[in-house]
Amino acid sequence: MEPNKLLAQLTAEDRALIRIVQHGLPLVSRPYADIAERLSTTEQDVIRRLQKLINNGAIKRYGVVVRHRELGYRANGMVVWNIPDDSVSRLGSCIGKLSCVTLSYRRPRRLPDWPYNLFTMVHGRNRAEVRQKVGEIIESCGLQNIDHTILFSTRRFKQRGASYTPPENTNRPAGTIRLETAAGTDS
Amino acid sequence: MTDITSSFSALEKRLLNDFQHDLPLSATPYADIALQLGVSENEVLNTVRKLQDAGVISRIGPVFTPNRIGVSTLAAMSIPAQELECTARIISAFPEVNHNYERDHEFNLWFVVTASSEEHLEIVLHEIEQHAGYPLMSLPMLEDYFIDLGFKLQWA
């Protein structure tokens, strides 16, 4: 589905549900019953709506979300590649399948400042491990002739899940949903 | 460096590793996990709570597909070193910004901005530029090639 088409299809009930579950399920025996109570609906309705969001691709993954840094993966390298346009899909898919990678996105170039069009994220216990994994990526996908650079994170100023600003506290458009999407998976 | 992963119990390791995707949508997900792991539901709930308090589990639930139920972009700025911390704080204060990292590059500040619509995103990006006082490079995702099966942990 085209981006934003789904956005338009979401009902007010879907949005209210998303606002709650984006922070994670409650840690109680029947989490969906708990959510249902807050939304004045039924447990079954909550489960059905979530299943729909999984089926239509709005939810990419459903389960335990870990924090890399707290697990000892302290080095996080954003690896950016300058790939000819006609091979970016193929190579991006190749990289996106590797287990050491947690993101593989095509983004626009901004010439002359920014020539890179593929972004991948690689985590390691230290920089050497990240560099070694990048070497493995180059080997696996045949990227020996592709220009790349690794941007290591040096400080984390903000990392948090989604939040929701009550519209009355802001002059921004109402109904703002902020989500921690896969684009912002804890990295 | 101490390896935190070596201090995890067998139950903690399995909770961290085995349920990152395809958690079944049953009414009692924690009881289902407990059944698979041969422990009680309470043990699962208590262990998850402990891992959450320790910060290693962010949450259990959905990870949304980028740009399906909201719009987002990755933004970068090039900021003089002595201004970086102050500017980063200004940017982090925007509720639309959910990740904000310094990276060792000429573009030294990278953050994700999420909004409910393209229009709202444009407004926020403009506001951020105004408040930060530096031009912003916006790099929206054009295609997603990543198959998200969670993060495979390698136990020491």
pLDDT by residue for chain A (187 residues), tens only, comes to: 455 567 667 888 998 999 899 889 999 999 999 999 999 999 999 999 999 999 988 898 999 999 888 888 889 999 999 999 999 999 999 999 988 898 999 999 999 999 999 999 999 999 999 999 999 999 999 999 999 999 999 998 987 654 433 233 344 443 344 444 444 334 3
pLDDT category, B65, cuts 50, 70, 90?
Answer: confident
| Same-domain check for residues B78 and B111 | yes
Contacts made by residues B141-144, CB under 8 angstroms, sequence distance 24+: B141/A105, B141/A106, B141/A107, B141/A183, B141/B66, B141/B67, B141/B72, B141/B73, B141/B74, B142/A105, B142/A106, B142/A107, B142/A108, B143/A88, B143/A89, B143/A92, B143/A105, B143/A106, B144/A96, B144/A104, B144/A105, B144/A182, B144/B65, B144/B66
Q: What confidence score (pLDDT) does residue A169 get?
A: 35
Q: Tell me what the pLDDT averaged over chain B comes to.
A: 91
Locate tokens 């299943």: which residue? Answer: A51
For residue B12, being part of any structural domain is answered with yes
Q: How far apart are CA A89 and CA B50, in angstroms?
A: 41
B-chain CB neighbours of A18 within 8 Å are 64, 69
pLDDT confidence of residue B101: 95
Contact B20 A154 (CB under 8 A): no
- Higher-scoring residue by pLDDT: B63, A185: B63
B96 and B123 both lie in a single domain: yes
**Is B109 found in the same domain as B49?**
no
pLDDT at B146: 87
pLDDT of residue A100: 84
CATH number of A69-152: 3.30.70.920
Q: What is the dihedral of CA B126, B100, A76, B68, to 10 degrees?
A: -60
Range of the domain at B101: 71-139
Residue B145 covered by a domain:
no
Is B105 in the active site? no
Dihedral sign computed on CA atoms, order B58, B61, B66, B70: negative
ipTM: 0.84
Quick check: helix, strand or coil at residue B71? strand
Q: Which residues pair with B97 in a beta bridge?
A: B113
CATH of the domain at B82: 3.30.70.3460
Least confident of B23-32, B46-55, B61-70: B61-70
Task: Sort out which chain A residues have CB atoms less than 8 A from B53's CB and list them.
Answer: none
Return the number of CB contacts < 8 Å for A and B. 312
Per-residue pLDDT band at B67 (split at 50, 70, 90): confident
Domain with CATH 1.10.10 in chain A: 5-63+162-184
pLDDT of residue A5: 63
One domain for residues B76 and B131? yes
**B48 plus B77 within the same structural domain:** no
**Residue A156: its chain B contacts at CB < 8 A?**
100-102
**B137–chain A Cβ distance below 8 A for any pair:** yes
- Tokens 């639309």 belong to residue: B96
- The total number of structural domains in chain B stands at 2
Note whether B20 contacts A65, CB cutoff 8 Å: yes
Residue B101 lies in a domain: yes
Section B39-51 average pLDDT: 97
Q: Where in chain A is the domain with CATH 3.30.70.920?
A: 69-152
Choose among A67, A61, A60, A32: nearest CA to A46. A32
The dotted CATH code for A5-63+162-184 is 1.10.10
Name the pairing type of β-strands A101-106 and B143-144.
Answer: antiparallel
Q: Does A128 touch chain B (CB under 8 A)?
A: no
Contacts of A29 (CB under 8 A, 6+ apart): B28, B30, B31, B41, B45
Is residue B1, in this structure, part of any structural domain at all? no
Q: Is B90 near chain A, with CB under 8 Å?
A: no
Instruction: Give whole-number Cα distances, A22 to A58, A131, A162, B59, in Å.
Output: 12, 33, 7, 9
**Residue B95 clears pLDDT 60, i.e. is over it:** yes
